[in-house]
A and B are shown apart, each in its own frame.
Chain A
Amino acid sequence: MRTFGTNEFLFIVYALQWTITLTAIAFVGGGVVGICLALLRISSRRLLRVITSGYMQFVQGLPLLILMFVCYYAPSLFGLEVSAIAAAAIALTINSSAFLGAIWESALRAIPKAQWESADALAMTPYKTLRFVIAPQAIRLALPSTVGFLVQVIKQTSIASIIGFVEITRAGQLVSNATFEPLKTFLAVAALYFALCFPLTQISLWLERRAARRGSRA
């Protein structure tokens, strides 16, 4: 019987690249869709706002695990085979988009109406107002919670282990099954998650303190 040694630990460390890859895909994909959602939420058209809000609330009310099952199994109904990483990436992207959209929407709404108004009065177009006046202020507001959410995404990738995608949690399960040393194994997995997340939470806290100190200045 194998014991939990260096090789077993390295096997889990090797899977770290997949945790990071999945996080990156989910965060970038969710970010792109999230920006669109946030902008649709502040649109002047009511119908767009309502539809967007419906999507965001639906996704936010759905357990990620279920979303991942749906993304993994539903395509087979149409005779399509989806790899575990593709299903996990799609599910995490959908999930992140709804939460990032909500974070950024509230940041956009936190910018006083008077800022839009003075840009309007200077004959700026809505696009330029958003780009040069509103977005720079909203980004600063949203940065701490965005980095905080990145930490959530890292931890949520562990759910991809359920559909058999080998990131560090799944690697841990495999090692645990072979060694019968679940405690050692999953403590090692936990240490790796912590090593990824801790610097990010520190950055998030630092950004928050900086924002409080500087107000809305550059």
Chain B
Amino acid sequence: MSVVVANNIRKSFGPLEVLKGVSLDVRGGEVVALIGRSGSGKSTFLRCLNGLETVDGGDISVAGHAMSRNPAALRKLRRDVGIVFQSYNLFPHLTAGENIMLAPVQVKGESKAAAREEALRCLTMVGLGDRFDTYPDMLSGGQQQRIAIARSLAMQPKVLLFDEVTSALDPELTGEVLAVIENLARQGMTMLLVTHEMGFARRVANRTIFMKDGIIHEEGPSAEFFANPKTPELAAFLRSEIG
């Protein structure tokens, strides 16, 4: 069953057309990696999927919700879609635990006790069960990012979006975040990730998509995609990324 369906998405920023008709279908349990140079439109496309960017053309349906500009309908869709950002964007005035509990209590109306239990479960899942009462600025970038993942997980999303979540991290901290994502993949979480980690995409993603100039230039099952790129542009991109 398809969890994410995007049909011919178009998006411009002023005169600049960033997405020129992107279509994508992601099935439940699938892990899809989006790669490409900066400016290729991959992050913009990802942000369209939970309405952080409005689209100029095409339709999107996520977890059975049609994309809408109506605020209430959009919130319904967002309940089922988690997103993790490059810069973590934790709430700095709240502890790790409070960051995670906030949306379940305020959006889903869960009791504090139930939300606390769930938050602790999510923190344990990302390996930070002992950091419930720690403020974000006392944690490393990798730990903050894992808490951001836990915050998304606590809403029990049907799909998780990752927007270059390791790009701001030192190499040694990247590993701990990727390990969490890989673990989620093993548990069957549907995920879309914009990433520069080619090795990770190849190993964890079922399918990889190469975006160039606002369109999907090439896509395929990851093993095949990385081993035998069909277009010279992808081959050149992979050479430059892997070095």
A3 within 8 A of B: no
Residue of B52, B71, B106, B135 touching A121 (CB-CB under 8 A): B52
**Residues 137-167 of chain A: 1 if any B CB is under 8 Å from the residue's CB, otherwise 0?**
1001000000000000000000000000000
In whole angstroms, what is the CA distance A103 to B90 when docked?
Answer: 25
Q: Find chain A residues with CB under 8 A from B87 CB.
A: 114
In whole angstroms, what is the CA distance A124 to B75 when docked?
Answer: 7
Residue of B52, B79, B92, B151 touching A216 (CB-CB under 8 A): B92
- CB pair B137 A123 closer than 8 Å: no
- CB pair B93 A123 closer than 8 Å: no
Residue of B75, B79, B106, B155 touching A132 (CB-CB under 8 A): B106
In whole angstroms, what is the CA distance A25 to B242 when docked?
Answer: 67
- CB pair A137 B85 closer than 8 Å: no
Taking A122-B155, A216-B93 as contacts, is the C-beta distance between A117 and B103 under 8 angstroms? no
- CB pair A133 B50 closer than 8 Å: no
Q: Find chain A residues with CB under 8 A from B123 CB.
A: none
Taking A118-B89, A123-B155, A133-B91 as contacts, is the C-beta distance between A218 and B107 under 8 angstroms? no
Residue pairs across A and B with CB atoms within 8 Å: the count is: 66
Chain A interface residue number, banded? 20 to 34
Q: Find chain B residues with CB under 8 A from A202 CB.
A: none
- CB pair B83 A125 closer than 8 Å: no
Q: Is the interface of A mostly helix, strand, loop or mixed?
A: helix
A57 within 8 A of B: no
Q: Find chain B residues with CB under 8 A from A119 CB.
A: 91
Chain B, residue nearest A112 (CB):
B89
A37 → chain B, closest Cβ, in Å?
24
- CB pair B89 A122 closer than 8 Å: no
B83 → chain A, closest Cβ, in Å?
5
A136 within 8 A of B: yes
**Residues 96-124 of chain A: 1 if any B CB is under 8 Å from the residue's CB, otherwise 0?**
00000000000000000011011111111
- CB pair B135 A124 closer than 8 Å: no
Q: Find chain A residues with CB under 8 A from B90 CB.
A: 118
- CB pair A122 B102 closer than 8 Å: yes
Q: Find chain B residues with CB under 8 A from A209 CB.
A: none
In whole angstroms, what is the CA distance A45 to B102 when docked?
Answer: 28
Q: Find chain B residues with CB under 8 A from A117 CB.
A: 52, 85, 89
Chain A, residue nearest B154 (CB):
A122
B78 within 8 A of A: yes
Q: Find chain B residues with CB under 8 A from A218 CB.
A: 93-94, 135
B156 → chain A, closest Cβ, in Å?
12
Taking A115-B89, A120-B78 as contacts, is the C-beta distance between A217 and B137 under 8 angstroms? yes
Q: Find chain A residues with CB under 8 A from B79 CB.
A: 123
Taking A118-B85, A215-B92, A217-B93 as contacts, is the C-beta distance between A125 and B75 under 8 angstroms? yes
- CB pair B155 A137 closer than 8 Å: no
In whole angstroms, what is the CA distance A123 to B78 when docked?
Answer: 5
Q: Find chain B residues with CB under 8 A from A46 CB.
A: none
- CB pair B103 A124 closer than 8 Å: yes
Q: Find chain A residues with CB under 8 A from B107 CB.
A: 122-124, 128
Q: Which residues B64-79 have CB closer than 8 A to chain A?
A: 71, 75-76, 78-79
- CB pair B92 A114 closer than 8 Å: no
A44 → chain B, closest Cβ, in Å?
11
Residue of B76, B78, B92, B135 touching A122 (CB-CB under 8 A): B78
Q: Find chain A residues with CB under 8 A from B85 CB.
A: 114, 117-118
Q: 17 interchain pairs (CB within 8 A)? A: A118-B85, A118-B89, A121-B82, A122-B102, A122-B103, A122-B107, A122-B151, A122-B155, A123-B75, A124-B75, A125-B75, A126-B71, A136-B93, A137-B92, A215-B92, A217-B137, A218-B135
Chain A residues near B (Cβ < 8 Å)? 114-115, 117-126, 128, 132-133, 136-137, 140, 215-218
Which A-B residue pairs are the 4 nearest by beta carbons?
A122-B103, A123-B78, A118-B89, A216-B92
